[in-house]
Chains A and B, each alone.
Chain A
């Protein structure tokens, strides 16, 4: 598999997970919140300062359909992480002094 094809497939898979599969995720509380409820420190939790963000709770504000709202938030999150992470890692990478002889398609 060429590198280009590998990356295309991985990006597609990531978008499908965030945009489609996420709708079917379990809505039960996660392990920490469940234990907090069981042992009695659940009420110590406070609303996040970003609880009013347009993407809070992985839902896009103003979009009626829960499926579409979640899909948009998921894809927006992937795009943001990709931009910030991609930019950061590209900036930090070790510049290769040797000329690239492996060919662009590899």
Chain B
């Protein structure tokens, strides 16, 4: 989904740059509420994992591929505002160092993969968490549904941007059908990876999953009395 330079014209790229900057500014404030001494290292870890996972393109159908975007995954693991910053750091390093995604397209890429996937992924996750049983085991399923929807949503927003500022005269109806079709398939991969990773963290350290926190039972002190007669407990 990394948009190269040249696909969108300068005004559209400038507009998405402003949207991205505003999103990051709000996220810088929101992140303070999400992270503390225990979870700040987790956010750094999630950013590096998303970077690594984005290197793994998996084949989708004939001749094309997709990779994890990670917006929904990061939002569930460390919170939506921290997730926006995770993806922004990843996209910045990719654009500046790896030439993956254009420089004038950096705002577009942060908007699509940093803002749209996080917003759609997190909103869907919260709704699903409410619908499903309020147990930590529901968290990976809700995360997978959010991840699945986040990918075609980003594809749809790209097509919208292209309809405004696309730099080539092409049939937009063909673009929207192809973008949604392929990215629905890629969304299945996004859902699988997201569900698997969230399930693994839930299984080992559920307290480190931001999206699971409302569901974790508050540990209550329990008074255990010694069994009066060992014979009866055997």
Give chain A's interface residues, CB within 8 Å of chain B: 1, 3, 6-7, 10-11, 13-15, 17-18, 21-22, 25-32, 34-36, 38-41, 43-51, 53, 55-58, 73-74, 76-78, 80-82, 84-86, 88-90, 92-96, 100
Contact = CB atoms under 8 A, between A and B. Distances in A.
16 contacts: A10-B49, A11-B48, A13-B49, A21-B56, A29-B64, A32-B1, A32-B158, A38-B174, A49-B103, A50-B103, A81-B90, A89-B40, A89-B82, A92-B40, A93-B36, A94-B35
Contact of B93 (A13, A30, A80): A80
Nearest to A55: B97
Given A30-B57, A30-B64, A53 B96 contact: yes
Interface residues of B, number: 73
Contact of B45 (A14, A32, A41): A14
A18 B55 contact: yes
Interface of B: 1-7, 28, 31-33, 35-41, 43-45, 47-49, 51-53, 55-60, 63-67, 82, 85-86, 89-90, 92-103, 155, 158, 162, 166-168, 170-171, 174-175, 178-179, 182-183, 186, 204-205, 208
B47 to A, nearest CB: 4
A19 to B, nearest CB: 8
A102 to B, nearest CB: 8
A45 to B, nearest CB: 4
A85 B45 CA distance: 8
A22 B233 CA distance: 56
Contacts of B155: 31-32
A93 B64 contact: no
B93 A84 contact: yes
B56 to A, nearest CB: 5
